[in-house]
């Protein structure tokens, strides 16, 4: 299934690239505040980071498509059987965001996101435990946010809420979902 999803994303991006009025490539990075929520209890948020690449394709004067490829550190502080631990989940996230571009540099966007789990560990009582087998390798989510770009410098700021839509647990007895805020900076090369 992963191969089909990746192939679909690549074909979709290639189609948009051919139809776009103009395109830009950029870099981004910033802070995360993520948690894992489930039906029994919510984990406490942890601070992490994200870093990656962005594409920005103008569809017309008002709308753009922004696919990204981002490494993101996520997780939560959780209490299991009275023991406090930290769960660290590292993802490669691939959002595809539809943006409405205001004339003043502000942008509003929304879109789907695929997350590919690359690392899962928990830390409790000075012990590290590999948790990759406990979590699904692919997550589907959605992002909603605002950004601003200064056209003179090509630098921008970005604030986003990411909402996990699929259960990240392998064990279906308890459903858990990623939730997170991201705030960061980005730079678009040759922005028009």
Q: Are 168 and 178 in contact (CB under 8 A)?
A: yes
CB count within 10 Å of CB 72 equals 23
Identify the bridge partners of residue 33 per DSSP, sorted by sequence position: 47, 181
Mean pLDDT across the chain, nearest whole number? 88
Q: Which of these ranges, 7-16, 126-135, 180-189, has the smallest mean pLDDT? A: 7-16
Look up the pTM and report it.
Answer: 0.86
From the list 51, 43, 59, 40, the residue with the least C-alpha distance to 98 is 59
Distance in angstroms (rounded) separating the CA atoms of residues 132 and 170: 10
pLDDT-based confidence at residue 48 (cuts at 50, 70, 90): very high
End-to-end CA distance of the chain: 37
State the residue for tokens 């008002």.
Answer: 62
Q: What tens digit of pLDDT does each residue of 115-167 get?
A: 999 999 999 888 898 999 999 999 999 999 999 999 889 999 999 999 999 99
State the residue for tokens 């699929």.
Answer: 166
**Domains parsed from the chain with CATH numbers:** 2-189 (2.40.160.20)
Distance in angstroms (rounded) separating the CA atoms of residues 141 and 115: 8
Given a cut of 80, whether residue 5 has pLDDT beyond it is no
Q: What tens digit of pLDDT does each residue of 21-30 get?
A: 567 899 999 9
Distance in angstroms (rounded) separating the CA atoms of residues 47 and 59: 35
Q: What tens digit of pLDDT does each residue of 69-78 get?
A: 999 999 999 8
CB count within 10 Å of CB 1 equals 7
């Amino acid at each position: 299934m992963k191969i089909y999803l990746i192939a679909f994303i690549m074909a979709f991006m290639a189609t948009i690239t051919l139809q776009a009025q103009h395109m830009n490539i950029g870099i981004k990075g910033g802070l995360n505040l993520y948690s894992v929520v489930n039906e029994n209890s919510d984990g406490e948020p942890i601070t992490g980071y994200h870093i990656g690449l962005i594409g920005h394709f103008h569809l017309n004067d008002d709308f753009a498509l922004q696919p990204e490829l981002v490494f993101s550190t996520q997780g939560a502080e959780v209490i299991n059987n009275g023991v406090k631990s930290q769960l660290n989940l590292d993802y490669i996230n691939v959002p595809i965001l539809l943006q409405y571009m205001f004339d003043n540099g502000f942008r509003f966007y929304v879109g789907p996101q695929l997350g590919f789990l690359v690392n899962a560990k928990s830390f409790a009582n000075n012990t590290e435990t590999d948790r990759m087998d406990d979590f699904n390798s692919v997550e589907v989510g959605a992002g909603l946010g605002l950004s601003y770009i200064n056209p003179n410098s090509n630098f921008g700021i970005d604030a986003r809420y990411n909402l996990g839509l699929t259960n990240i647990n392998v064990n279906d007895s308890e459903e858990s979902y990623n939730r997170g805020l991201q705030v960061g900076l980005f730079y678009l090369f040759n922005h028009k």
